[in-house]
Amino acid sequence: MSILVDKNTRLLVQGITGNEGLFHTQHMLAYGTNVVAGVTPGKGGEWVLEGKVPVFDSVRIAHEATGVNTSVIFVPARFAADAIYEAADAGILLIVCITEGIPIQDMMRVRNYLDQKGIRLVGPNCPGLLTPGEAKVGIIPGDISMPGNIGVVSRSGTLTYEVLYALKLVGLGTTTCIGIGGAPVNGTSFIDVLGMFEADPHTDKIVLIGEIGGTDEEKAAEFIADHLTKPVTAFIAGQTAPPGKRMGHAGAIVESGSGTAADKIKALQDVGVQVASHPEEIAELLA
């Protein structure tokens, strides 16, 4: 079983004719994801990838014509907020935004709008989702993981890949991997995903990959203590990052003494979470 994306996902790619959109659409199709449509304004009526995917002028037209239920966004940052609004207004219930660099004020307005409409956003600035053997939505390589019973949720794209591959090397697979992204304002939190994994009967163990900045990991620790029955293993990136220095993501910065790796590790350990000292150790702890 999986969460959010599976064989029933009917995927729309916004920005499909751009370099990034076309490249990753090809890989999603090759993996077996059911990519049924793409959108690029002004290019409606065209087909891409040797006639495999039709292109529409708008999300609403694509939705009406093909019944898409999920959208993945590969458009530049200055257009990304509008692309999210368009998908939401067309009735798409799961939107995955890969784009990074979207202004924080734009994302604050987007998040408020989506919350009012009850629409799930994963991202922005994220690698997307992978349900091994069923669907990949985004840029997570399909060959680094295999089906299994471990749910993975991460703020870091690169570390996600490293951990998935380390698990595969010792014969461990995943139900679904979700990269929630490292933006200061995003659509889906650790708590959201932890709750989904807790409710999924095929997920027996959970891996949480966090990083410095903000208090999401501390909030996750509280949620784990109050609501989770499944064991959680974690890794926190940025343990040597100096205060005030941004590490990779816009949200990965320690400010005013908060958001340190030490605080996050302690909060997780206090509620019984095993915290690895390096990413590969997650596989060792689970094996």
Q: What angle do CA 99, 105, 110 make, to 5 degrees?
A: 65
Structure tokens at 188: 């889906």
Residue 143: which residues within 8 A CB-CB, separation 6 or more? none
The string over 102-121, giving b where at least 16 C-beta atoms fall within 10 Å of a residue's C-beta and e elsewhere, is beeebbeebeebbeeeebeb
Residue type, 109: R
* C-alpha to C-alpha distance for 33 and 2, rounded to whole angstroms: 14
* C-alpha to C-alpha distance for 206 and 213, rounded to whole angstroms: 22
Structure tokens at 126: 């994220």
Q: Are 51 and 76 in contact (CB under 8 A)?
A: no
Q: Is the peptide bond before 124 cis (omega within 30 degrees of 0)?
A: yes
Structure tokens at 68: 């898409």
Residues belonging to the active site: 249
Entry field: residues in the chain: 287
What are the φ/ψ torsions at residue 54 (nearest 5 degrees)?
-80, 150
